[in-house]
């Protein structure tokens, strides 16, 4: 297949070679043809031949036309006649369409309007049917709901309705008397009221369950200090609220209070109202005693000011007169305690200021150190090599401790934990590598020891060592005798170099050979 395609391509190239010319030759031929055509047309623009018509074609036709030229003229004549007939047919159809457009437009418009109205009516009918079906379903379920639903039990725990003016009630009565609803509308209204009461009851039950779930907290989670702080804060808020309410009550005008008492006297007193009034009177008495004790304490704190100011007070009630007639207490008994309290107050104030200063300084240091740790974490390769896993973060103790701290402060423990984890992982990896190297060294040492033992066996050193162990006593005695002989000859103590030489020659295999070999045949030498 490849050879046949190559042969076809080569054959095609050989056939097209006389027609393929270089670019320069082609440009030259174009210039020559342009000059030749310019000589026929002149310098002016080229004139196109006029279009042919059927009359000109009829004039051209004749017996003198022969061959392909005659066939071309006949085909051109047929084409012109068919084109003319087509133009006439198109013109007639356009005229007919212009005449028929008003009728056609009027008919579809009426059909479209009828269709749209039909769709609207169908939509309205569907909505009415849906409403009717829902009303029937509600009317069927109304009887069962009324049997199972007891209105008295639902309204038992409800609050009392507020008093309504008579004018409003009369207007309602007039409206009801003027418009008499039918039985069906009353049933629908009752059904709506019942469903509304059911929904309200469910919402209240849900809110009650949510409130109970929120209020039920474990006693272990709340410490005694937190409870004490909450109690103190509530006590302070209650005292402030009572003071504000009493100030407002005292600022009111007396006629209003008189009218209020008259209105209350007109109304029948209930046991609940009597209990509330008794509790209010107790609170007022306690507050009066509290204010009196507070005034006495302030008077003790500033006795000199009270002496300088003249007492010009209006007439007061019997309680105030009884308090004024009391004998004055001795200030010198309470002055040391008050001074001690003032000192404690100043010390506590100074401690709080120092604590605030220290906390601000520590917060600044904490932020700066956190920035440094963040920058080092971005630049370090240790954290990227040993990242903290989620399982390790859950098992760690440090994040649990950080949960108790405030969320707006940057915590150092959170930022230092990845470093600790990475260092531990790197340390464990280093210890593992060292242990592996030690194990490999031990294996190599054992192999070298086995090789040394094999070499000792081959050299016979092992037998000599066993002989030395058995004859250790003999060797020691011989060495001592030789040393004593040398000391006697030389008359001096043995030098440490000889001891080292003896210790070095013990491991030498030639040290076991006692005596001097000398030269071979030295006895024959004169």
Q: At what angle do helices 472-490 and 461-470 cross, to 10 degrees?
A: 80
Full pLDDT tens readout for the chain, 526 residues: 567 788 888 888 888 888 888 888 888 988 888 888 877 776 666 565 555 555 666 666 666 677 787 888 888 888 888 888 888 888 888 887 666 555 545 555 678 888 888 999 989 889 888 888 888 887 776 555 555 556 566 666 666 666 666 666 666 655 555 556 678 888 888 888 888 899 889 999 998 888 888 766 555 566 777 788 888 888 888 888 888 887 777 666 555 555 555 555 555 557 778 888 888 888 888 888 888 887 887 777 664 444 433 444 444 444 444 444 454 455 556 778 888 888 888 899 889 989 989 999 999 998 998 888 888 888 888 888 878 876 555 454 444 444 444 444 457 788 888 888 888 888 998 999 999 999 998 899 899 988 988 888 888 766 555 655 556 567 667 767 776 776 676 554 444 444 444 444 455 555 555 544 544 454 444 4
Altogether, the residues listed in the chain come to a count of 526
pLDDT of residue 285: 87
Of 410, 441, 472, the residue that ends a domain is 441
pLDDT of residue 493: 42
pLDDT of residue 358: 92
**Cα gap 285→281, rounded to integer Å:** 6
Cα radius of gyration (the chain): 63
pLDDT of residue 361: 92
Instruction: Extract the tokens encoding 9.
Output: 């391509």
Q: What is the 3-state secondary structure (H, E, C) of 225-243?
A: HHHHHHHHHHHHHHHHHHH
- Does 333 map to a domain? no
- Does 115 map to a domain? no
pLDDT of residue 320: 46
pLDDT of residue 114: 86
φ/ψ (deg, to 5) at 42: 85, -170
- Does 457 map to a domain? yes
What number of other Cβ atoms are within 10 A of residue 113's Cβ? 10
Judge if 430 and 463 occupy the same domain: no
- Does 437 map to a domain? yes
Judge if 390 and 424 occupy the same domain: yes
pLDDT of residue 115: 86
Judge if 364 and 398 occupy the same domain: yes
CA diameter of the chain: 174
The pTM for the full model equals 0.26
pLDDT of residue 397: 44
- Does 460 map to a domain? yes
pLDDT of residue 319: 46
Judge if 407 and 466 occupy the same domain: no
Residue 429 gets which letter from DSSP? H
Distant-in-sequence contacts of 304-311, Cβ < 8 A, 24+ apart: none
Judge if 435 and 451 occupy the same domain: no
Cα separation values, 192 from 142, 144, 152, Å: 10, 14, 17
Where in the sequence is the domain holding 476, given as residue range(s)?
A: 446-505
DSSP characters for 64-130?
Answer: T--THHHHHHHHHHHHHHHHHHHHHHHHHHHHHHHHHHHHHHHHHHHHHHHHHHHHHHHHHHHHHHH
Judge if 454 and 494 occupy the same domain: yes
Give me the number of domains the chain comprises. Answer: 3
- Does 522 map to a domain? no
Dihedral over Cα of 85, 90, 91, 97: its sign? positive
Residue 15 gets which letter from DSSP? H
Judge if 430 and 451 occupy the same domain: no
Judge if 409 and 484 occupy the same domain: no
- Does 426 map to a domain? yes
**Residue in this structure with the two tokens 């623009």, named with its chain if needed:** 45
Judge if 424 and 362 occupy the same domain: yes
Judge if 452 and 436 occupy the same domain: no
Judge if 435 and 483 occupy the same domain: no
Residue 53 zone, left/alpha/beta (φ > 0; ψ -120 to 50; rest):
beta
- Does 128 map to a domain? no
Distant-in-sequence contacts of 409-417, Cβ < 8 A, 24+ apart: 409/363, 409/366, 410/366, 410/367, 410/370, 411/366, 411/370, 412/366, 412/369, 412/370, 412/373, 415/370, 415/373, 415/374, 415/377, 416/373, 417/388, 417/393
Judge if 471 and 403 occupy the same domain: no
**Cα gap 522→365, rounded to integer Å:** 96
């Amino acid at each position: 297949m490849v050879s046949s395609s190559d042969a076809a391509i080569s054959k095609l190239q050989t056939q097209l070679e006389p027609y393929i010319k270089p670019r320069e030759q082609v440009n030259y031929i174009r210039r020559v043809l342009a000059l030749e055509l310019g000589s026929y047309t002149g310098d002016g623009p080229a004139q196109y031949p006029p279009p042919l018509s059927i009359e000109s074609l009829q004039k051209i036709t004749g017996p003198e036309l022969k061959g392909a030229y005659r066939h071309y003229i006949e085909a051109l004549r047929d084409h012109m006649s068919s084109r003319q007939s087509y133009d006439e047919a198109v013109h007639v159809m356009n005229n007919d369409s212009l005449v028929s457009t008003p009728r056609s437009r009027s008919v579809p418009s009426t059909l479209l309007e009828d269709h749209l109205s039909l769709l609207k009516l169908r939509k309205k009918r569907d909505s009415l049917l849906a409403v009717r079906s829902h009303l029937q379903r509600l009317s069927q379920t109304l009887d069962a709901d009324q049997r199972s639903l007891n209105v008295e039990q639902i309204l038992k725990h409800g609050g009392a309705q507020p008093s309504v003016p008579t004018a409003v009630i009369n207007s309602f009565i007039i409206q009801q008397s003027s418009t008499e609803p039918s039985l069906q509308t009353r049933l629908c209204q009752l059904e709506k009221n019942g469903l509304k009461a059911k929904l309200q009851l469910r919402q209240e039950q849900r809110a009650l369950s949510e409130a109970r779930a929120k209020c039920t907290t474990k006693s272990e989670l709340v410490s005694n200090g937190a409870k004490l702080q909450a109690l103190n804060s509530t006590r302070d808020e209650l005292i402030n609220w009572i003071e504000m309410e009493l100030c407002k009550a005292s600022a009111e005008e007396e006629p209003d209070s008189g009218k209020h008492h008259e209105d209350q006297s007109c109304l029948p007193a209930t046991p609940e109202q009597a209990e509330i009034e008794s509790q209010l009177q107790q609170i007022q008495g306690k507050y009066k005693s509290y204010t009196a004790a507070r005034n006495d304490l302030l008077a003790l704190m500033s006795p000199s000011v009270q002496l300088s100011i003249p007492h010009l007070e209006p007439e007061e009630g019997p309680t105030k007169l009884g308090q004024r007639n009391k004998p004055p207490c001795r200030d010198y008994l309470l002055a040391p305690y008050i001074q001690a309290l003032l000192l404690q107050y100043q010390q506590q104030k100074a401690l709080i200021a120092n604590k605030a200063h220290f906390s601000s300084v520590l917060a600044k240091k904490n932020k700066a150190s956190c920035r440094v740790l963040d920058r080092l974490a971005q630049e370090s390769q240790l954290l990227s090599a040993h990242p903290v896993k989620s399982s390790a973060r859950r098992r760690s103790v440090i994040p649990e401790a950080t949960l108790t701290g405030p969320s707006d402060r940057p915590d150092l423990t959170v930022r230092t934990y990845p470093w600790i984890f990475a260092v531990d992982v790197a340390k464990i990896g280093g210890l593992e590598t060292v242990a592996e190297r030690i194990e490999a060294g031990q294996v190599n040492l054992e192999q070298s020891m086995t090789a040394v033992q094999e070499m000792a066996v081959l050299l016979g050193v092992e037998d000599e060592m066993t002989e030395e162990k058995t004859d250790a006593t003999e060797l020691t005695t011989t060495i001592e005798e030789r040393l004593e002989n040398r000391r006697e000859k030389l008359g001096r103590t043995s030098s440490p170099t000889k001891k080292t030489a003896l210790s070095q020659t013990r491991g030498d295999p030639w040290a076991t050979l006692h005596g001097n070999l000398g030269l071979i045949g030295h006895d024959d030498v004169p």
